[in-house]
Structure 1
Amino acid sequence: MILRKVKYVGILAAVFLCLHTSVKAQVKHGYQHWYTYFGGLQLNEKWSIPFDVQVRLRDAISDKGQVLTRAGLQYSINKKASVLLGYAYITTYSDALDAYFPEHRIFQQFIYKTPIKKWDMFHRIRLEQRFAGVKVMHTGGDLKVDDWNYGNRFRYFNRTTVPLKGGPFYFALQDELFMNLWGNDISKKFFDQNRFLTAIGYAFKPNLKVDIGYMNQFVQSPAGNKSMNHILQFSVYQTIAL
């Protein structure tokens, strides 16, 4: 079993290395730190309120980047499947204008869990309706939001966790693909970004886990420029029963 796990991880690592090498000379590289908290309030057997708060810092921990807050109301269809309706508010820093730009999102998602023996795997499909603020310089040097760009986006997320030797430590492997859809004024490019993460975690108890890992984020800007961010990510996962 252990050899099969190692082989599986090794194949994925080799594929990632090949992709990384092929685009290395064509993209701009950056380094970031992401600090994330994924919480959940369990209201009863069927209803819950998942939420998360993320602080994403560029280059060094003192640099400005992005702050994201998100929450939703989730209904469990059964033990494997659930649906959710949610809202997110994001502020993203622009180096060129030395200012944060706001974004509102409404999103719908479907989650399906497919446990494989001792492995925990789940798939998430998310549709987003995005409203990104456009700031314009006014008289006196004030930047104000004068308009909002609208965009539809599709996201597919997969995360697999594997317990290590039956103890509290686990290995996590995940990937998320972002694609811009019709009626999009934010970006006309179909491919938006991809995030690949490997992490080591520790389960203090079933409802409280922490992990630290490396994320590779490959992004295509609306202008077509490509960048690759190398991210050190710290995550806390907690579920609270009410």
Structure 2
Amino acid sequence: MLCETANQRARQWGRGIAIVAFVWSLLVGGEAFAQSTSTFSQDFRLWSPVFMTVKLPSSFLAYMEVQPRFADLDEDGHIDQLLLRPALGYQLTENLSIWQGYAWVGNYNQKHTPPQSPFFDESRIYQQVLYTRKFESFKIVSRTRLEERWIEHVDGTAVRFRTMLRGQYPLPMAPEWALVAADEVFVHLNTVGARGPQAGFDQNRFFVGINRTFSKYVNLDVGYQNQLLNSRSIPNLANQMNHIILFQLFINL
């Protein structure tokens, strides 16, 4: 019995070490790629979103997200975006839910030519499918979202598809802590004029970090996110790579 327990702990430690090594190799490889690609414009940023999900009667769910984003941290630093994203969901099964939501996006301190304003906003509605699955020592989250976007100074409706996969591995020696990795791909489905989004790849976000569970209601992600942007409609910004320190607070009531 003792031998079996020791072997099980050794396997758990081995899986943990393997995951850490894999994440480290991705970080080192990504940094080497960025350094070898001179066409990338790079910036350091801070995102600090708060996500709240509330269970309602009859399997309904309410959701609210407040997400401030700060840019140019290697210089003076300033707010770049503020997102407010409410939604209403329905729990179809234990693992699967569907959502309908709205988002307001304020873009601050943007590159502009006077007399243009450095601020513009955007409204979105979106449809979402969320799937979560817990295994014995692992948790995955899959989120697929379709967005209809109305951007100030852009004529027409931009449609964007995005899909995210997240994995979470609790540490055997400290179950309240977990290693987290996630990736999300964004694709524009249409072209909206000369000043709007262009059909095709929009961006990719890759996150690695740790999660701390404080109670069954509250947990926090802290880590690094690499954001690769393809902003082809903006001159001299065809390839933008943002290095983001990410603090994500999750509240589930």
The reply to whether TM is greater than 0.5 is: yes
Partner of 1:82 in structure 2?
Answer: 97
- Distance in 1 between residues matched to 2:156 and 2:239, nearest whole Å: 21
Structure 2 counterparts to residues 9-28 of structure 1, below 5 A: 9-24=20-35, 25-28=38-41
The answer to whether the aligner puts 1:175 opposite 2:183 as a matched pair is yes
Q: 1:127 aligns with which of 138, 141, 146?
A: 146
Q: Does 1:190 align with 2:200?
A: yes
More helix by share: 2
CA contact (8 A) 1:133 1:149 kept: no
RMSD: 2.0
Q: 2:169 aligns with which of 142, 159, 162?
A: 162
- Cα 1:37–1:28 shift into 2, 3 Å: same
Residues 114-165 of structure 1, C-alpha deviations (whole Å, 9 max, x = no match): 323221111011000010001xxxxxxxxxxxx5442110101111122122
- Greater strand proportion: 1
Q: State the AA in 1 paired with 2:161.
A: F
Residue identity in the other structure for 1:213: G
- Structure 2 distance, partners of 1:17, 1:155, is 26
Q: Quick one: distance in 1 between partners of 2:174 and 2:33?
A: 38
Once residues 26 and 68 of structure 1 are traced to their aligned partners in structure 2, the CA distance between those partners, rounded to angstroms, is 29
Task: Check conservation: 1:158, 1:174, Cα contact below 8 A.
Answer: yes
1:66 and 1:21 map into 2 onto residues whose CA distance is 28
Paired with 2:156 and 2:106, the residues of 1 have a C-alpha distance of: 14
What SS does structure 1 have at the residue aligned with 2:190? coil
| Residue number among 111, 124, 132 corresponding to 1:95 in the alignment | 111
Aligned to 2:5: none
> Which amino acid is 1:172 matched to?
V
CA distance in 1 between counterparts of 2:230 and 2:207 reads 18
Is 2:40 the partner of 1:54?
no
Deviation at 1:26, TM superposition (A): 2.2
Which SS does the other structure have where 1:168 is aligned?
strand
Task: Report whether the alignment pairs 1:66 with 2:81.
Answer: yes
- Contact 2:191–2:197, Cα closer than 8 Å, also in 1: no
CA pair 6-38 structure 1, distance change in 2 beyond 3 A: same
Structure 2 letter corresponding to 1:118: S
* 2:68–2:79 Cα contact (<8 Å) kept: no
Give the counterpart letter for 1:130 in structure 2.
R
Kept in 1: contact 2:191–2:199 (CA 8 A)? no
How far is 1:12 from its partner?
Answer: 4.5
Cα distance in 1 for residues equivalent to 2:224 and 2:30? 16
| Equivalent residue in structure 2 for 1:220, among 230, 248, 251 | 230
Q: Structure 2 vs 1, CA of residues 227 and 62 (structure 1 numbering), >3 Å: closer, same or farther?
A: closer
The code of the aligned residue for 1:55 comes to: P
Q: Helix, strand or coil for the counterpart of 2:25?
A: helix
| Number of residue-to-residue matches in the alignment | 228
2:44 corresponds to which residue? 31
Query: Deviations for 1:192-240, whole angstroms, at most 9, x for unmatched residues?
Result: 0011111222211011012211111010103371010001111110012
Any unmatched runs of 5+ in structure 1?
A: 135-146
Distance 1:30 1:196 in 2: 15
For 1:144, the equivalent position in structure 2 comes to none
Normalising by structure 2, we get a TM-score of 0.83
- Secondary structure (helix, strand or coil) at the match of 1:10 reads helix
Q: Is the 8 A contact 1:85 1:108 kept in 2?
A: yes
Distance 1:229 1:153, change over 3 A: same
How far the C-alpha of 1:9 sits from its partner, in A, is 4.1
